[in-house]
């Protein structure tokens, strides 16, 4: 089955053609980096206008790279939620037009659920059996989301933990801004922290735990701790002076922040697995996705997590960590096989569709 997919949830205009949910024949992404760089963040109006200009050329290129025409496509998938509403509207309108003109099924795909699926891309038949994969623990870490999911199947996901403040990627970007690193902040902070001379224990930064049972995340305290480290804490007793940002202290602070942030993720993953075992539930795989899964330290720690907890970890290839349409096509194919069809009434929706519970065992 050939699925053509569109993804326009934020500032990337993407199209892809995927066969049988895993074989990526093409994946084209038009970046808007230069348009938003001077604002150090995404401007929604600029993003939606850029999608209008890019969507048709991107679709044409995806078809050309895949070596197929529109007549060979079996279905159209589109990321219709969550995201910037103006950006989503462009992709949904384009997908509806394609599906209507080709008389092919239209499938709306939750962008976050597609990130959970992204580790399956380009794996061929490896691990496709539902008996091998499920139940699975899902992890999405990005600029807008940091959450864990109980994944019973590709059509049954429930949120068991989420961030109560900043997403992990957002915290990276804000700390990078504090440290006066250029845009994009997160990748530049990762590069700085990865310097062989960086000491990740130079600064004692907090690892968020919330309560002893919580599966939720919090990165605001870590971010505030970095702010106090940089600016100092006033006071006659126990005050600290501002930190002089030399090349050495910058590397050490970046590495210390990255250690604490990644530790918070693996701590909650461990807690989720332990709580599941208390309910006689054994997770077979850890399905990871989102832009922060491209982070060098997090990838290493997740692979170590695989060995120490004896479960298969599905990390997406680097090119599918960031927003892309291949993951939309892959999950779209799974939804189509399960019987999902969305007609011309499909709506662009800014909110996520994955519900909380009923296996949520954490408490704040």
Q: What is the residue range of 21's domain?
A: 2-122+319-337
Q: Do 85 and 143 fall into the same domain?
A: no
Assess if residue 294 is contained within a domain: yes
Q: Do 272 and 150 fall into the same domain?
A: yes
Q: Do 306 and 330 fall into the same domain?
A: no
Assess if residue 351 is contained within a domain: no
Q: Do 210 and 284 fall into the same domain?
A: yes
C-alpha closest to that of 267 among 168, 145, 156, 121: 168
Q: Do 139 and 25 fall into the same domain?
A: no
Assess if residue 201 is contained within a domain: yes
For the four alpha carbons of 132, 134, 137 and 142, in that order, the dihedral sign comes to: positive
Q: Do 67 and 197 fall into the same domain?
A: no
How is 101-152 classified by DSSP, letter by letter? HHT--EEEEEHHHHHHHGGGTT-TTTT-SHHHH-SEEEEEESSS-EEEEEEE
pLDDT at 361: 43
Q: Do 142 and 177 fall into the same domain?
A: yes
Assess if residue 362 is contained within a domain: no
Q: Do 21 and 101 fall into the same domain?
A: yes
Q: For the segment 138-179, what is each residue's pLDDT rounded down to a tens digit? A: 999 998 899 999 999 999 999 999 999 999 999 999 999 999
Q: Do 95 and 145 fall into the same domain?
A: no
Q: Do 61 and 167 fall into the same domain?
A: no
What does DSSP assign to residue 9?
S
Assess if residue 356 is contained within a domain: no
Q: For the segment 80-129, what is each residue's pLDDT rounded down to a tens digit? A: 999 999 999 999 999 999 999 999 999 999 999 999 999 999 986 555 57
Per-residue pLDDT of the chain (364 residues; tens, 9 = 90+): 999 999 999 888 999 999 999 999 999 999 776 776 666 667 777 888 888 999 999 999 999 999 999 999 999 999 999 999 999 999 999 999 999 999 999 999 999 999 999 999 998 655 557 778 999 999 999 988 999 999 999 999 999 999 999 999 999 999 999 999 988 899 999 999 999 999 999 999 999 999 999 999 999 999 999 999 999 887 756 678 889 999 999 999 999 999 999 999 999 999 999 999 999 999 999 999 999 999 999 999 999 988 888 889 999 999 999 999 999 999 999 999 999 999 899 999 999 999 998 654 443 3
CB burial of residue 2 (10 Å; 0-12, 13-18, 19+): middle
CATH of the domain at 79: 3.30.420.40
Taking the C-alpha atoms of residue 247 and residue 231, their distance in angstroms, rounded to an integer, is 17
Non-local (6+) Cβ contacts of 151 within 8 A are 116, 134, 135, 136, 137, 138, 157, 287
Q: Do 230 and 146 fall into the same domain?
A: yes
Q: Do 29 and 176 fall into the same domain?
A: no
């Amino acid at each position: 089955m050939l699925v053509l997919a569109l993804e326009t949830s934020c500032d990337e205009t993407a199209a892809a053609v995927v066969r049988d949910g895993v074989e990526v024949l093409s994946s084209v992404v038009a970046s808007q980096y230069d348009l938003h760089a001077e604002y150090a963040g995404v401007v929604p109006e600029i993003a939606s206008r850029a999608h209008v200009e890019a969507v048709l050329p991107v679709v044409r290129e995806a078809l050309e790279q895949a070596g197929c025409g529109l007549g060979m496509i079996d279905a159209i998938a589109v990321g219709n939620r969550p995201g910037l509403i103006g950006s989503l509207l462009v992709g949904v309108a384009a997908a509806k037009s394609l599906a209507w003109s080709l008389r092919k099924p239209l499938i709306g795909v939750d962008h976050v659920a597609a990130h959970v699926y992204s580790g399956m891309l380009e794996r061929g038949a490896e691990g496709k059996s539902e008996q091998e994969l499920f139940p699975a623990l899902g992890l999405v870490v990005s600029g807008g989301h940091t959450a864990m999911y109980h994944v019973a199947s590709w059509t049954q996901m429930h949120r068991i933990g989420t961030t109560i403040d900043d997403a992990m990627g957002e915290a990276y970007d804000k700390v990078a801004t504090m440290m006066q690193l250029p845009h994009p902040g997160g990748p530049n902070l990762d590069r700085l922290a990865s310097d062989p001379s960086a000491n990740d224990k130079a600064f004692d930064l907090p690892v968020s735990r919330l309560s002893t049972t919580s599966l939720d995340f919090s990165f605001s305290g870590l971010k505030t701790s970095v702010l106090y480290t940089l600016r100092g804490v006033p006071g006659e007793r126990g005050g600290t002076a501002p930190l002089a940002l030399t090349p050495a202290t910058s590397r050490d602070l970046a590495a210390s922040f990255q250690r604490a942030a990644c530790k918070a993720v693996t701590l909650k993953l461990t807690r989720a697995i332990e709580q599941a075992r208390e309910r006689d539930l054994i997770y077979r795989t850890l399905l990871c996705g989102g832009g922060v899964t491209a982070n060098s330290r997090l990838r290493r720690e997740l692979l170590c997590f695989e060995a120490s907890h004896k479960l298969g970890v599905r990390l997406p290839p680097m090119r599918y960590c960031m927003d892309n349409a291949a993951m939309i096509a892959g999950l779209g194919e799974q939804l189509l096989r399960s019987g999902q069809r969305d007609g011309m009434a499909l709506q662009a929706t800014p909110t996520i569709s994955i519900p909380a519970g009923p296996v949520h065992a954490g408490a704040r």
